[in-house]
Chain A
Amino acid sequence: MSSGQADEPPVVELDNAEIVYDRTFLAVQGVSMSADRGDIVALLGPNGAGKSTILKMISGIGRSERGEVTRGSVYYEGDEVTNAKTNEMVDRNVTHILEGRRVFEDLTVEENLRCGLYRGGRRIRYSKSDYDIAFEYFPKLEELLDVEAGYCSGGEQQMLVIARALIHRPNLLLLDEPSLGLAPKLVVDIYETLREINREEDITMIIADQNAKETLEVADYGYVLENGQVELHDPADVLMDREEIKEFYLGTSSEESRYSEIQHYKIRKRWK
């Protein structure tokens, strides 16, 4: 599935990374993973598995929460960027869409989009055509330009944060729970649009989501995390057919459904 060249280094690579918060809380231990150019990589797993933490340490924003890669390394396009600052990663065209639809609530939709042009202060002038890429994928936003973002619906806010990130012209887009709290139909739409953006704009993506089915449907490769470790990893189509995934994340096991047992197993696993 990978469209990357054999001799090209992966866009992102984690080599046996250990991530610690506040020097005390071990969030991720010994994770190795990579994303090739043009791929969509899915990071799956329950709450607290370390998905967000990994994204945050790639974009550098984790440092503002006292996160630190204490062992192992992170590489971006072959360069080591372990514990790099957010500014440096923005300069390298990495854009992070944080969990929870973080629109700037008291700014209008247009002003939110304008913020995507900032990039460390090099942009002073702007014109409406700067927003074209946003309207291409989310035409609805064009009607909402003067609306305060806080008054937009959940779906519109999700479109807005993705559009704002697109205006940022990323090479690598990190998405944290883009489907959280959205209606199932909207989730499908958002994921289809993400796939389209990935193909048309050649933007590599890492998507962390609990919604395994929709994510794997558009992803090229997937990692399943549990307790800060990689439990499984495979190409997305292979992963989707694995029994563990079917059972725990998709709920479509070929065997008789044993919902209570699954719940029980998951709880035990998390607290062990």
Chain B
Amino acid sequence: MVDAAGLFSVLVTGIGIGALYALVAIGFALIYKITGVLNFAQGQFALLGAFLVVVLSTSVPFWMFDVQVPVFAALGLTVVIGALLGVALERLVFRYFIGEPVLSVVIVTLAFIGIVDGGIRFFISSQYRAYPEALQPSWSITLPYDTSVQAPFVIGVILALLTVAGLMAFFRYTVLGSILRASASDQQAAMVLGVSIERTIVVAWALSIAITSIGGILLAMSSGGAGFTIGDITILVFAAVVFGGLDSIPGAFIGGIVVGILQEFGVYLEEFLMPGLESVLPMVFLLVVIVVMPYGLFGTERIERL
């Protein structure tokens, strides 16, 4: 019953969908790494990105404003709007929680799940909206065992890899990247070197929401359009990030891929075993990771000198 072709297909599809999770997970890890906030509304910001493309490239209006621009301009604008939204979130909301207990910030992010989700339903659409033709690429890559990979997954894998490499180089080799990590580890000591904590948090949110928007757009492309199921990925993304170590960018990437593969493997096993494995497997994995390796793959273990 278990055949090589089937497993290979699970692996390939899993990596494809996992790369899309990875993009959202990187956004999640970025905020945690720099600001210490667990943003449980990350999936909703991916959802918003997916729907913004609909608003900008089709005749679906935003409230009473109907905007329509060429498809590729819409993609670029969505990412820019994502970055600006990140800036706005820091300015209007999260700035006031600097120094507050983590729990109250987490609850604010939980509130944003409802606010963003409801906002999209109110201002844009409460239904699935198909993407324009140009964003439904039909090409695919054919691999051995007649496994084909759809265009959104191919683009996703490439973009996720580029994002990880870019961010790692940024954090490792630039002055700004080093100081961002520094202020995550000791805010005051970074401030006396001239760091503005507000500014570092703005950078984190802007980068994070922009990257997450890209993930959201690709997730929508992989199903032909924007639907509210995209918002449900937050918990999968959380599993991915915990596996990677919460504050690690490459960890979030690998975690995303692993969660994608597990999910696909669950789908594959459902044929023989029981339904629902698709959602059970990644969550069991999350529990095991938390118990067995609380710092994840690459997480920062606090150094305790005795």
**A residues adjacent to B (C-beta < 8 A):** 59, 61, 64, 86-87, 90-91, 95-98, 102-107, 111-112, 114-121, 123-124, 126, 148, 150-151, 164, 168
Contacts and interface: CB of A to CB of B under 8 A. Distances in A.
Given A107-B178, A124-B174, A150-B303, A118 B193 contact: yes
Given A106-B185, A150-B305, A118 B191 contact: no
Given A107-B181, A111-B181, A59 B192 contact: yes
B178 A115 contact: yes
Given A105-B303, A124-B174, A148-B303, A115 B191 contact: no
Contacts of A87: 194, 196
Contacts, number: 87
B36 to A, nearest CB: 14
Contacts of B187: 64
Given A104-B190, A117-B175, A118-B194, 14 more contacts: A90-B192, A90-B193, A90-B194, A95-B192, A98-B188, A102-B186, A105-B186, A112-B182, A115-B182, A120-B195, A120-B196, A121-B194, A124-B174, A124-B175
18 contacts: A61-B188, A61-B191, A86-B191, A96-B192, A97-B192, A98-B189, A102-B189, A103-B189, A104-B181, A104-B182, A104-B190, A105-B186, A106-B300, A112-B182, A115-B175, A123-B175, A126-B175, A150-B303
B303 A64 contact: no
Residue from the set B176, B188, B192, B303 with the largest chain A CB neighbour count within 10 Å: B192
Contacts of A103: 189
B195 A118 contact: yes
Contact of A164 (B174, B188, B193): B193
A76 to B, nearest CB: 15
Contacts of A117: 175
A150 B304 CA distance: 8
Interface of B: 174-176, 178-179, 181-182, 185-196, 199, 300, 302-303, 305
Nearest to B189: A102
A150 B182 CA distance: 12
A114 B305 CA distance: 23
Contact of A120 (B178, B185, B194, B303): B194
A118 B175 contact: yes
Residue from the set A91, A107, A115, A150 with the largest chain B CB neighbour count within 10 Å: A115
A64 B188 contact: yes
B179 A118 contact: yes
Contact of B193 (A107, A116, A124): A116
Contacts of B189: 98, 102-104
Nearest to A100: B189
A91 B175 CA distance: 17
Contacts of B192: 59, 61, 86, 90, 95-98
A168 B193 CA distance: 7
A119 B179 CA distance: 10
Contacts of A115: 175, 178-179, 182, 190, 193
Contacts of B176: 118, 121, 124
Contacts of B305: 150-151
A24 B189 CA distance: 25
Contacts of B182: 104, 107, 111-112, 115
B246 to A, nearest CB: 13
A56 to B, nearest CB: 9
A103 B188 CA distance: 11
Given A117-B175, A124-B176, A107 B185 contact: yes
Nearest to A111: B178
Contacts of A119: 193-194
Nearest to A164: B193
Residue from the set B176, B178, B190, B300 with the largest chain A CB neighbour count within 10 Å: B178
